[in-house]
Amino acid sequence: MLSIRNNSSPLFIDMAIYSVLISGQEELDSSWQDVNVPNMSFGYREIDISECTENDDGTYTATYESMQVESPRTYKYLDPIEGAKEFQLVVGEYGVKPNSRRLG
Residue 51 sits at the vertex; the CA angle it makes with 3 and 103, to the nearest 5 degrees, is 55
Host domain of residue 83: 2-99
Largest CA distance in the chain: 50
* Nearest in space to 52 (alpha carbons), one of 95, 16, 44: 44
| Residue 67 belongs to a domain | yes
Q: What are the residues facing 77 on neighbouring strands?
A: 85
Give the model confidence (pLDDT) of 8-58 as tens digits: 444 445 689 999 999 999 999 999 999 998 778 999 999 999 999 999 999
| Residue 104 belongs to a domain | no
Q: Into how many domains does the chain fold?
A: 1
Three-class SS state of 25: helix
Cut 0.85: pTM above it: no
